[in-house]
Structure 1
């Protein structure tokens, strides 16, 4: 249908989602759309769609009353959008993290939960419960590149753990040869001085 005909036969309204609402995420934009559709009557749900950062409402011209009611609902939902809790798939897209990272950082407290939400997925009898996140917290994490910082910290901790494990194994081997070769005593003591927490290891009596 030519654009001129479409404009005369349909009612159209477009809203542009702001950056503080989407945080640069197309997944978040889709989530906002789903929130809006949940607030609309069943007959109007499919009339609204998202195109990039634009929300588009299109209805037949003879449905002006329903259109006006939908405009009111969508406008209110868009005003609320920046404060909507961030759900798992959204925070993963916003911060560029994997599901395994989300679970790990949530468990160790680096990713603070804003509570949980329980929903029933379409076509499924069982409900699911998941954590949601404060959009202000997510925005702060995004702005300071927290996910990248956490990955560096984890890599450093892993490397330190590996170094310590290697040195502990060396110390154990040296300790076993103490009695048979006196010259190894000095080597063992020197290596122990470089191992973090060696004092606790020795106090536990693991070499006796």
Structure 2
């Protein structure tokens, strides 16, 4: 039986994830669920789950106090959901970008960061820090097709860089060719300037 169908031995509460919260991303929807689970006590984490676009909180009827506390937590997160920072895997899904593109556009300033967040990996002692993004800015980037524009800009910059590199290589080849030509001309024009005793030969007037 689906969890959304209440039975007499269960406490049940349902919330619907709206588009302004998920930004059309199933990955962000999962992120909201994980945010809720992170704020719930360990004993209540598995009580919340997805069913379609709904979040379902279901607990035994004899756990009313824990249920009410969980309802408060979930309601708070759901109210804040549209303002929750967008994390890397979410923005990649929402904007359809690759991780390499996210890193590049973040580094050159086209993708503005809303700060960083540090989390501890599940089951590990190591922590990771990553950039997060303002949901309003993400929506704006999505609406104006910024990713497509940036890809065109990158392609043009890459082509220009390739042309410049080819031009510089051509200049180097021409410089080497000219140097070889000058060297060859020097050997022909000054064949005897390095001969020993040439100055004495000239002093004797034998060259006149």
| TM over 0.5, shorter chain | yes
Matched-pair contact (CA < 8 Å) for 1:59–1:67: yes
In the superposition, relative to structure 1, how do residues 7 and 159 fare at CA in structure 2: closer, same or farther (>3 Å)?
same
Matched-pair contact (CA < 8 Å) for 2:91–2:138: yes
**1:31-50 matches, cutoff 5 A:** 31-50=31-50
Segments ≥4 residues shifted beyond 4 Å: 1-6, 174-180
Residue 162 of structure 1 is matched in structure 2 by 162
Tell me the CA shift for residue 99 of structure 1: 1.2
In the superposition, relative to structure 1, how do residues 110 and 178 fare at CA in structure 2: closer, same or farther (>3 Å)?
same
Matched-pair contact (CA < 8 Å) for 2:11–2:59: yes
Structure 2: tracts of 5 or more residues without a match:
182-208
Matched-pair contact (CA < 8 Å) for 1:26–1:52: no
- 1:34-66 deviations in whole A, cap 9, x for unaligned? 111122222111100123421111112222232
Residue 102 of structure 1 is matched in structure 2 by 102
Residue 117 of structure 2 is matched in structure 1 by 117
Matched-pair contact (CA < 8 Å) for 1:13–1:57: yes
Q: Which has the larger radius of gyration?
A: 2
Structure 1: tracts of 5 or more residues without a match:
181-208
Superposition TM-score, scaled by structure 1 size: 0.77
Tell me the CA shift for residue 5 of structure 1: 8.6
Matched-pair contact (CA < 8 Å) for 1:114–1:131: yes
Cα distance in 2 for partners of 1:28, 1:151 equals 24
Tell me the CA shift for residue 3 of structure 1: 8.4
Superposition TM-score, scaled by structure 2 size: 0.77
Q: Secondary structure of the equivalent of 1:149?
A: helix
Cα distance in 2 for partners of 1:130, 1:24 equals 22
Tell me the CA shift for residue 164 of structure 1: 2.6
Tell me the CA shift for residue 142 of structure 1: 1.3
Question: For the aligned residues, what is the CA RMSD?
Answer: 2.4
Residue 143 of structure 2 is matched in structure 1 by 143
Cα distance in 2 for partners of 1:17, 1:108 equals 34
Tell me the CA shift for residue 4 of structure 1: 11
Q: Secondary structure of the equivalent of 2:24?
A: coil
In the superposition, relative to structure 1, how do residues 168 and 8 fare at CA in structure 2: closer, same or farther (>3 Å)?
same
| More divergent stretch after superposition (144-153 vs 50-59) | 50-59
- 1:163-188 deviations in whole A, cap 9, x for unaligned? 232233334444555696xxxxxxxx
| 1:71 to 2:71 alignment | yes
